[in-house]
Amino acid sequence: MRPIHRDLMPTIVPAIVVAGLMGLAFHSFVQAQEYPADITRGKGVYERHCQACHGVGGWGDGPDGQALKVPPANFHRFRSFLKSDEELLRTIEHGVVFSPMHAWRGQLTDGEMQDVVAYIRLLSQQGR
């Protein structure tokens, strides 16, 4: 590497990092814009695919969840409640390793996954 390149490194590296961060921010902005969450559709997705394990109210007490070794997540627990939408979305998309919670990518569209997260958020704010 010629000396001039080494001199430029301190300027170039932070510039790349900043550009990357801006790209990330823009990316989530675009995503949020592209799919305004549709709670009604999220409810439909939830009832069809998730309720049997996670339960009607999202307490992790659905009939199919009773026999599972790893119980379905209770969305009212702080552990779930404190997670960001992004984290929940990632779990739905990719599943939980070594658990019956499989990946939904391919079965649900991006929009449906975002809607179901919005619906889970709504459930987690409701009492019994």
- Determine, following the binding rule CB under 6 A, whether residue 123 of this chain makes contact with ligand HEC: no
Query: Of 12 and 70, which has the nearer Cβ to ligand HEC?
Result: 70
Task: Measure the CA–CA gap between 69 and 5, rounded to whole angstroms.
Answer: 57
- Determine, following the binding rule CB under 6 A, whether residue 56 of this chain makes contact with ligand HEC: no
Q: Which helix (H) or strand (E) is 118 found in, with range?
A: helix 110-125
Q: Which ranges in the chain belong to alpha helices (H)? A: 3-34, 39-49, 51-54, 78-81, 85-94, 110-125
Cβ at position 108, least distance to ligand HEC in Å: 6
- Determine, following the binding rule CB under 6 A, whether residue 92 of this chain makes contact with ligand HEC: yes
Facing residues of 105 across strands?
A: 108
CA distances 56 to 11, 37, 61, 67, 97, Å, are 54, 20, 8, 17, 24
Cβ at position 90, least distance to ligand HEC in Å: 9
- Determine, following the binding rule CB under 6 A, whether residue 104 of this chain makes contact with ligand HEC: yes
- Determine, following the binding rule CB under 6 A, whether residue 114 of this chain makes contact with ligand HEC: no
Which chain residues interact with ligand HEC by CB under 6 A?
Answer: 49-50, 52-54, 64-65, 68, 70, 72-73, 79-80, 83, 88, 91-92, 96, 99-101, 104, 116
